[in-house]
A = this chain, B = another copy of it.
Amino acid sequence: MIEKPAITDQKIDKTLAERWSGRAFDPTTEVSNDTITSLCEAARWAPSCFGDQPWRFIVWNKFQDEVSWQKAIDTLSPGNQDWAKNAPILILAASVNTFTHNGSDNRWVGYDTGAASISLCLQATSMGLMSHQMGGFDSNKVKAAFSLPDDINLWAMISIGYPASLDELNEEQLERELKARERRPLSEQFFSGEWNTPLNSGE
């Protein structure tokens, strides 16, 4: 597995550092049901506003139901299909839009579902799996193909699988997988006391 841990000013948790969104999945290795349960448990225990847990996830498993899995793959943008077809698991991250306790609009559905999804991806990393979230899919196509309720929000499709071994990749794929991860400097987005005042941590 390609390791390209986050480059940080201070050490961070190994799983947080090592999660990254690769594209070179191994299409031949199955992900067990127990492992899928672990992924979902990680999402399930994310925090949420009023404990509402607005997230809903659908898991498609190529090795258990290839027809449904293919239907889900077909909703991805062509560029994503190119590599996502090698990941045996595809997961939809969706949410209901109103609070269970009073039916009013919940403005945190995206925020909370994002937390649940990254928890699932971090759990994947901790078990040697690779994850890759995609915004590039056709929401209407997904809703139609799987008869989803109209009033839910579709946030991301998440590919999950074991990483392919490097010697199975062509030159273009290899270059893409080995490309360094990048983030903006901490000082541009993390402020101290006031907006736009960089964090005063000796940077």
The CA-CA distance from A161 to B27 in the complex, in Å, is 44
A184 contacts partner chain B, Cβ-Cβ < 8 Å: yes
Copies of this chain, tallied across the complex? 2
Total interface residues in chain A, CB < 8 Å? 82
Q: Which residue of B lies closest to A185 (CB)?
A: B44
Among A58, A112, A189, A203, find the residue whose CB has the most chain B CB atoms closer than 10 A.
A189
Question: For window 60-79 of chain A, which residues contact chain B by CB distance below 8 Å?
Answer: 60-61, 64-65, 68-69
Residues of A within 8 A of B (CB): 6, 8-13, 15-17, 19, 21, 33-38, 40-47, 49-51, 53, 55-61, 64-65, 68-69, 107-115, 117-119, 121-123, 126, 133, 135, 146-149, 155-156, 181-184, 186, 189-195, 199-203
